[in-house]
Structure 1
Amino acid sequence: MSIFRRSLAPLLVAAAVLAADVALPGAAQASAAPADAGHGNKVAIGFFTQWSIYSGFLEKDLIGDGAASKLTEINYAFSSVSADGLCTSGDSWADYQKPFTADQAVDGVADTSTQALAGNFNQLRELKAKYPKLKIVMTIGGWSWSGQFSKIASTAAGRQAFVNSCVDQYLNGNIPGLAPGAAKGIFDGLDIDWEYPNEPGDNNPYGPQDTPDFTALMQTFRSAVNQAGEANDEHYVLTADVSPNQYAAAQQLQLPQLAKSLDWFNVMTLDFHGGWENQTDFSSNLLPDPNDPQASNDKFSIVQTVQYYEQHGVPADKISLEIPYYAHAWTGVANVDNGLYQSATGASAEDQAAYNVVVNQPGTVHYDPVTASIWKYDPASGTFYTYDTPQTIAEKGIYIDLAGLRGASVWSLDGDTSDGALTNALASSLY
């Protein structure tokens, strides 16, 4: 064990104890068979965004920065949902039409006009061929494409039609307009990102019926995914991306019932605070700060979220934490206490900028041992940044191990440095 890791032990043991809890009496155990994640069954998941290719971040870059060899899973974000309640491509050019040149392709061979499949999907297939243990999972929905979920989930017929379309396209590989089975064998599972049941999200329809309907939707997915797995001799992963907000969105979830259908939850432990607020704070702190001036229902931390999920019937090994590869930032922050917990005039232009951008911005980096977080403050511009670094990600990885959690996901892989500083830190701490 390194000196660095030993120095963190007291802090992280305390975090593990705080987060640990016994499942609620009578809480049913999950019926989903555990996926063979490798690495001691820990998962390390990286989200690859559909649109990153337009800014020059390609699947082949996951080889160069080491992510493909260090992660257990790549989640492709996102599949859209059509107005008639079916899985559909939100950008067919990026997904399966764009021809990659030889210098862009994972295998170094240019796409041709006669091949059955091109685009990101084909590059993911090539990546999987090069790294056979790497799973590829399709994430469905997300912030921008969750508007149809409430309607879809409201009837058994709607749920079944939607699920059938997702399974047929991504697990059986039948992409509309392409040859039957053109995408078969690429995806190893489905990840459902409904943002959020009984919450408006991006001005979406919602209502209290969403709570049981989401449970029913995931049960329908589990049954269909299992059937497809039996037919294809696979165990397909089924996960859901869920809110960390124990004061609101997480309360809308029937957690013990959902846990029965899911391999694990990807809990989105990020965006605790950001530039939409008028006070600086941490966006993804591991530990709570008793001196945080936020109102009681605005005090967030990862260990509080984990405690909530465990207290409400989710086993620790069904909890995976999401880590941001981007920053939140404020401007107009006075030079008091190096900008921490100070008022701001608004979001900085660098709000939500990638780590590989923010790490090079001016300012002094400060470490807060109470929350196991860092921040950067530039007094010249009055800019405050909250983000994760290799140090804080390593601390989160050690906590995940000590608390017996399933692992971590990261949003998103194009935010890392070219040498994979963040992913290296995560992988080194997890296994």
Structure 2
Amino acid sequence: MKRRLLPVLPLLLALHAALAGATEVGSYYTAWSAEDGFRLKQFDQSGAAARFTYLNYSFGNVYKMDDGSFRCDSGRDVKEAGDGTGMRSTLDYARRHSSAESVDGSADAAGQPLAGNFNQLRQLKQKHPKLKVMIALGGYQWSRYFSDASATAARRQTLVASCIDTYILGNLTPLDGHGGKGAAAGMFDGIDIDWEYPGVPLMAYNSVSPKDKRNFTLLLAEFRKQLDALGKRQNKRYYLTAALNSGQQTTDATEPERYARSLDWVNLMTYDFHGAWNKQGPADFHSNLFSDPASPDPTHPSVDRGVTRMIKAGIPAHKIVIGVPFYARGWSGVGAANNGLYQSATGPATGFEEGAERYSAIVKSAAPVFRHPVTRQLWTYQDNTFWSYDDPAAIAEKVAYLRQRGLGGIMSWSLDQDDAAFSLSKAMSAVPGAK
């Protein structure tokens, strides 16, 4: 009898860990999606919102002020010009939604303190009181000043205090008749740090230092300290999370075991393993669950490898939330052998941006669909164009995987790229214990 039970014991323990508490199901909700016609009302009416546990609003920026300090700020409306200093405050809290657009059917009025996306998030929270909303700071374009802002204890304290003042206490700079002291108070339940990346700058304009490794840990500890102090005064729990790349280089550039102590969970960006930034390919998967030994990439990235790497680095499994993409990555001019898989290319496929397309568009394609038996990723190939992406079935396999490994949950980038039925969101939210 014991011999029969022992082989399944690790699986049972992992499953118990996964179901012991509420599994997190979340997504990033982008400010600019409002310009493309996306409304949270659609998400709510689909039924998917009722099973989500959190949304991360993207993004808040960190600025260098005239006095040399680094702070969160509001009241700026500057389109990103390629230098990492943009902000879309009008979309955040000053754009007025009509009754037809709003979650609860009420139109924003002139002079009300909170309008824009922030008010829609507030309405969504009122309908779903268990939903947590976090402000995500940084991102791939707005991580310019994180390194400088984290360089000393005084700078870290100033930055953290300013972010709490702006987003948690909700003190928004007046803009077009909206905002003001406490305008967004109670709106955000926490902060997500999306520094891309400590010690490994994603953009050429980002500040970077060899001391980022330690300073990232110290920055998160300062956020935890100040959020906990505020929460104690208010008798409220504030959440702190971080978006992390799952690659070896970025992992080695930080201190996972140390910084994990400050975090409620990590949003692991287990996607973008390959893309048309390598214009000649080869065409490969960008969010595959498992690695294929036949892939020409010698690093063989995958969700499974990223998760295993983070656990070995010291992040508890229950704090790891894996990421899924609501978009495809692809190439054009791809050779026909193997239905395009692992073949060379001539450039990026055409999509909403170079080499990327929303799931809502990909799912309408008539191109043949193939599913890889090892990686569990699917791809399409037609007219020398290759796309790799996740569908509901692929996400269901990732849900089963996170349960088996006792992980903390699943999240996506980004909410607006799902189809009209929110098929991917619903597949994610099928996690037992989600809500």
Give the TM-score normalised by structure 2: 0.88
Deviation per CA, 1:94-114: give whole Å up to 9, x if none: 001111111111111111113
Shift of 1:183: 0.5
Report what 2:71 is aligned to.
Answer: 86
Shift of 1:192: 0.3
Deviation per CA, 1:365-385: give whole Å up to 9, x if none: 00111011111111xx20000
Q: What SS class does the counterpart of residue 76 from structure 1 fall into?
A: strand
Q: CA–CA distance in 2 between the matches of 1:232 and 1:103?
A: 35
On the 8 A contact 1:66/1:419 being kept in 2, the answer is no
Report what 2:80 is aligned to.
Answer: none
Report what 1:107 is aligned to.
Answer: 104
Report what 1:171 is aligned to.
Answer: 168
Shift of 1:211: 0.5
Q: What SS class does the counterpart of residue 165 from structure 1 fall into?
A: helix
Q: CA–CA distance in 1 between the matches of 2:172 and 2:294?
A: 53
User: Which stretches in structure 2 are left out of the alignment for 5+ residues?
Assistant: 1-6, 75-86
Shift of 1:426: 1.2
Q: CA–CA distance in 1 between the matches of 2:128 and 2:310?
A: 33
Could you tell which deviates more after superposition, 421-430 or 346-355?
A: 421-430
Q: What SS class does the counterpart of residue 190 from structure 1 fall into?
A: strand
User: Which stretches in structure 1 are left out of the alignment for 5+ residues?
Assistant: 1-12, 21-36
Shift of 1:39: 9.0
1:368 matched to 2:392: no
Report what 1:194 is aligned to.
Answer: 195
Report what 1:116 is aligned to.
Answer: 113
Q: CA–CA distance in 2 between the matches of 1:238 and 1:344?
A: 41
Report what 2:79 is aligned to.
Answer: none
Q: CA–CA distance in 2 between the matches of 1:423 and 1:74?
A: 12
Q: CA–CA distance in 2 between the matches of 1:151 and 1:392?
A: 40
CA distance change for structure 1 residues 59 and 161 in 2, over 3 Å: closer, same or farther?
same
User: One-letter code of the match for 1:88?
Assistant: D
Shift of 1:123: 1.0
Q: What SS class does the counterpart of residue 303 from structure 1 fall into?
A: helix
Q: CA–CA distance in 2 between the matches of 1:199 and 1:268?
A: 15
Q: CA–CA distance in 2 between the matches of 1:282 and 1:239?
A: 27
Report what 1:302 is aligned to.
Answer: 303
Aligned match for 2:356, one of 349, 352, 357:
352
On the 8 A contact 1:64/1:418 being kept in 2, the answer is no
Deviation per CA, 1:312-344: give whole Å up to 9, x if none: 111100111111000001000111111110001
User: One-letter code of the match for 2:105?
Assistant: G
Could you tell which deviates more after superposition, 127-136 or 171-180?
A: 171-180
Q: CA–CA distance in 2 between the matches of 1:233 and 1:338?
A: 58
User: One-letter code of the match for 2:276?
Assistant: G
Report what 2:386 is aligned to.
Answer: 384
Deviation per CA, 1:281-317: give whole Å up to 9, x if none: 00011011111111x2x32011111111111111100
User: One-letter code of the match for 1:359?
Assistant: V
1:143 matched to 2:140: yes
On the 8 A contact 1:334/1:382 being kept in 2, the answer is yes
Q: CA–CA distance in 2 between the matches of 1:275 and 1:179?
A: 44
Q: What SS class does the counterpart of residue 176 from structure 1 fall into?
A: strand
Q: CA–CA distance in 1 between the matches of 2:25 and 2:115?
A: 27
Q: CA–CA distance in 2 between the matches of 1:104 and 1:218?
A: 37
Shift of 1:174: 1.3
Cα-Cα RMSD: 1.8
Report what 2:122 is aligned to.
Answer: 125
Q: Where does 1:162-311 land on structure 2 (aligned, <5 Å)?
A: 162-177=159-174, 178-203=179-204, 204-246=206-248, 248-277=249-278, 278-294=281-297, 296=298, 298-311=299-312
Q: CA–CA distance in 2 between the matches of 1:153 and 1:430?
A: 39
Q: What SS class does the counterpart of residue 91 from structure 2 fall into?
A: helix
On the 8 A contact 2:23/2:431 being kept in 1, the answer is no
Q: Where does 1:305-344 land on structure 2 (aligned, <5 Å)?
A: 305-344=306-345
Q: CA–CA distance in 2 between the matches of 1:289 and 1:387?
A: 16
Q: CA–CA distance in 2 between the matches of 1:312 and 1:51?
A: 35
Q: What SS class does the counterpart of residue 231 from structure 1 fall into?
A: helix
User: One-letter code of the match for 2:393?
Assistant: Q
Report what 2:131 is aligned to.
Answer: 134
Aligned match for 1:48, one of 29, 40, 46:
29
On the 8 A contact 1:173/1:182 being kept in 2, the answer is yes
> For this pair of structures, how many residues does the alignment match?
395
Q: What SS class does the counterpart of residue 139 from structure 1 fall into?
A: strand
On the 8 A contact 1:64/1:419 being kept in 2, the answer is no
Deviation per CA, 1:246-284: give whole Å up to 9, x if none: 2x1111110111011001111110100011222100001
On the 8 A contact 2:240/2:264 being kept in 1, the answer is yes
Give the TM-score normalised by structure 1: 0.89
On the 8 A contact 2:349/2:356 being kept in 1, the answer is no
Could you tell which deviates more after superposition, 60-69 or 127-136?
A: 60-69
Deviation per CA, 1:325-364: give whole Å up to 9, x if none: 0000100011111111000111111222110101112311
Shift of 1:430: 4.6
User: One-letter code of the match for 1:289?
Assistant: D
Shift of 1:58: 1.1
